[in-house]
Amino acid sequence: MKNEHIKKFDELYTKMSDSSDIKDMELFGKVMREAMQYVVNHSPAYADELIEKLEAINYKNYLTKKEAEDIIMEMQPSPKWTIEQMKRALAASGTATEEAPCYNECALLTTIAMISSDSGDTLSKYVKDESQLMEIIYNLAIDKLKDKDGKFAIRKYFDL
């Protein structure tokens, strides 16, 4: 029975997404809002996950909090800073952590961690000051996330 529900949902979604009739989109949106209200009432944590995934609409490079944590945890060698240390350093410097439509905070933190993991030792040979090192790695991360030729895609890079 569950598979039949999903099959029918997929059929209706495809019909709506292929339609140029705004009424189809409005109806689908209204029903999805009802479904989201149910999820909010019964599983707020899952509702947060769904909203976080929908944030992809706003960003070319995005990751969810869980995706970022999982990726960073697996990096070898470990990045120079934890997620919390990166957040504190960026907040202290007044640096923006999101820029629509380029990247969200989780994509930025993961890219900083990636550069720190991959190139941190080399960069540390030339930059001794910790805050200056963070600033350089931050700028390199921004270069990737705002890649001028549009080739860098964080989800593709990490096979998501």
**pLDDT score of 132:** 92
What pLDDT, on a 0 to 100 scale, did the predictor assign at position 130?
87
A 10 A CB-CB count for 89 gives 17
User: Over its length of 160 residues, how does the chain's per-residue pLDDT go in tens digits?
Assistant: 678 999 999 999 999 999 899 999 999 999 999 999 999 999 999 999 899 889 889 999 999 999 999 999 999 999 989 999 999 999 998 988 999 999 999 999 999 999 999 999 999 999 999 889 999 999 999 999 998 888 899 999 999 9
Query: What is the pLDDT at residue 52?
Result: 87
Residue 144's alpha-carbon distances to 8, 13, 62, 150, 151, in angstroms, are: 40, 34, 13, 9, 9
**The pLDDT value given to residue 101:** 93
Q: Which token pair is 74?
A: 């697996």
Nearest to 158 by CA among 72, 41, 86: 72
pLDDT for 1 equals: 66
Looking at residue 131, its pLDDT comes to 86
pTM: 0.80
